[in-house]
Amino acid sequence: MHAARTHIEWTALLLGAALAALAVAGWQVQGGIDTPPAEVTFAAAPSEELALTPPGGTVTSRTLRASEPADGLEQRTTVQNATGGPLLVGLRAEAETSELDGVLLVRVSAGGEGVFDGTLGELRAGAPGRFELASHESAEVTVQAWIPPAADEDLWRGRVGNVRLIYVTKAD
């Protein structure tokens, strides 16, 4: 009886191992491996001449896929001239890498008026778009970022973009 019991145990063990091997060999992920979308974070840096609302700046993160602007990242910050005179205000970007420079599109408006429309790389280079703020005047600044539908996926999939938005001011 002991030999028969051992034979049954070995048979069950071999059968279980065979089923496990079959399950592993036949297991597939439909569509293969999908690289994750881009992860983009915009952080508005504090300024000495401008009061930002919310205080300390705004941080906005979003996973991005190729889309229209309305489906991209949008950050709204209220900026107020904290000086006694008028200021010309521009925006410049700093990023940890240049991976998304040519593919991430950025649009900036202040008080509903267009200030910049181009690539992240152009904004990093110090885009010339500026707006004027009188002493203690405020404006809502909207920054939109998106990857256009025609963008090559190899240029953005799996990329991480940490972007610091710097308000550049100049006395008028």
Residue 144 has pLDDT above 50, yes or no: yes
Residue 16 lies in a domain: no
Average pLDDT estimate for 50-74: 89
Residue 62 lies in a domain: yes
Please give the pLDDT value at position 30. Answer: 54
Provide the residue range defining the domain that includes 118: 38-171
The residues, any chain, with a CB within 8 Å of residue 128's CB and separated by 6 or more, are 90
Q: How far apart are CA 165 and CA 124, in angstroms?
A: 9
The residues, any chain, with a CB within 8 Å of residue 126's CB and separated by 6 or more, are 90, 92, 168
Residue 70 lies in a domain: yes
The pairing of strands 105-110 and 73-81 is: unpaired
Residue 136 lies in a domain: yes
Could you tell me the pTM of the whole model?
A: 0.78
CATH number at residue 97: 2.60.40
Number of domains in the chain: 1
Average pLDDT over the chain, rounded to an integer? 85
Q: Are 73 and 64 in contact (CB under 8 A)?
A: yes
Residue 165 lies in a domain: yes
Residue 124 has pLDDT above 50, yes or no: yes
Residue 18 confidence class, pLDDT cut points 50, 70, 90: very low
Strand order in the sheet with 160-171: 59-64, 38-44, 160-171, 87-95, 130-133
Please give the pLDDT value at position 84. Answer: 95
Residue 27 lies in a domain: no
Residue 160 lies in a domain: yes
* Phi, psi for residue 101 in degrees, rounded to 5: -55, -45
